[in-house]
């Protein structure tokens, strides 16, 4: 199963840039988009056609227009789809879609941004805590889970260009980074960093200061997977040469039991 995750920073603008063409060239089994900033009824028939390509699509937009939202596109119909975490506090912002694919429960997530003035930091940390509590429950039941999307946090100094200058910037504050540690302590694995412990690649660059051209970036987009899925991973990649958003796409290829039957 091939997964592509991408924070598109507005799905309509992303489509207008033709970035979806790269996606379909990769032939993913599941495409997971974050920060879509639109409802499907706001897209033209041409835009929807370019997005769907025969895939089943599931949308969880924010209540607030032009804000947040996630969408999942699956080549095969998932056995189960659930929108949100089950409460208006987070679900009004369209932050989570969970879909079941064989023995894997896949989460498409757009984690909150703590904001420059730290005004939403508590909200962000509460989201981390409540999602981890759900992950604990699922793994205790024997579920194999994959969390993917924009985590809005760089975990280690290797994960951003200027760590010292950003020690008090939301996205690299100690209390934010500590939540990534907790996820890893609770049976989840940052599969990119496990595979490539010394590799320096970023997934987000500000539009200011020619940051992308100068590669002054942050790794904010992850695949965290259950420990018992690690041996099934074929590849995990950051496609930092692909344009279309201030984020680049990340992909994961993982063996699935049904793959052996085909």
Domain spans, the chain: 2-261
**Token representation of residue 215:** 């590669």
Catalytic residue among 57, 103, 130, 150: 150
pLDDT at 262: 46
Which tens digit of pLDDT belongs to each residue from 2-44?
A: 999 999 999 999 999 999 999 999 999 999 999 999 999 999 9
Q: How confident is the model at residue 257 (pLDDT cuts 50, 70, 90)?
A: confident
**Statement: residue 70 has pLDDT above 70:** yes
Of 212, 209, 238, 208, which is closest to residue 223 (Cα–Cα)?
Answer: 238
Q: Considering the chain, what percentage of its residues have pLDDT values greater than 90? A: 97
**Statement: residue 259 has pLDDT above 70:** no
Which tens digit of pLDDT belongs to each residue from 149-180?
A: 999 999 999 999 999 999 999 999 999 999 99
pLDDT at 260: 47
Angstrom distances, CA of residue 241 to CA of 2, 11, 96, 215: 19, 19, 27, 11
Exposed, middle or buried: residue 176 (CB in 10 Å: 0-12, 13-18, 19+)?
Answer: buried
CATH number attached to the domain at 2-261: 3.60.10.10
Which tens digit of pLDDT belongs to each residue from 44-68?
A: 999 999 999 999 999 999 999 999 9
What residues contact residue 189 under an 8 Å CB cut-off, 6+ apart?
A: 224, 225, 226, 227, 229, 230
Which tens digit of pLDDT belongs to each residue from 173-225?
A: 999 999 999 999 999 999 999 999 999 999 999 999 999 999 999 999 999 99
Separation CA 111–CA 95 (nearest Å): 7
Q: With b meaning 16 or more CB within 10 Å and e meaning fewer, what string describes 221-248?
A: bbbbbbeebeebbeebbbbbebebbbbb
For Cα atoms 245, 8, 129, give the angle at the middle one, nearest 5 degrees.
120
Active site residue 150: yes
- Decide if 192 contacts 250 (C-beta within 8 A): yes
Calculate the CA 210 to chain-centre distance. Answer: 24
């Amino acid at each position: 199963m091939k997964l592509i995750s991408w924070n598109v920073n507005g799905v309509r603008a992303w489509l207008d840039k033709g970035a979806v063409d790269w996606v379909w060239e990769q032939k993913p089994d599941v495409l997971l988009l974050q920060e879509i900033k639109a409802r499907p009824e706001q897209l033209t028939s041409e835009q929807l056609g370019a997005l769907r390509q025969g895939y089943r699509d599931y949308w969880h937009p924010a209540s607030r227009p032009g804000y947040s939202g996630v969408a999942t596109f699956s080549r095969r119909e998932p056995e189960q789809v659930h929108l949100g975490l089950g409460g208006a506090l987070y679900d009004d912002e369209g932050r989570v879609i969970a879909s079941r694919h064989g023995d894997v429960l896949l989460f498409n997530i757009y984690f909150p941004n703590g904001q420059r003035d730290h005004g939403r930091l508590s909200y962000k940390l509460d989201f981390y805590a409540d999602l981890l509590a759900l992950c604990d429950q699922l793994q205790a039941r024997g579920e194999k889970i994959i969390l993917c999307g924009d985590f809005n946090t760089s975990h280690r100094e290797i994960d951003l260009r200027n760590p010292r200058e950003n020690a008090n910037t939301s996205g690299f504050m100690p209390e934010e980074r500590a939540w990534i540690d907790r996820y890893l302590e609770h049976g989840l694995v940052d599969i990119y960093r496990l595979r490539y412990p010394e590799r320096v690649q970023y997934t987000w660059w500000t539009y200011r200061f020619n940051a992308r051209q100068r590669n002054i970036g942050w790794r904010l987009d992850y695949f965290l997977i259950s420990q018992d899925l690690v041996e099934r991973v074929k590849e995990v990649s950051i496609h930092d040469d692909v344009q279309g958003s201030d984020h680049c796409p990340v992909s994961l290829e993982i063996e699935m039991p049904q793959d052996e039957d085909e």
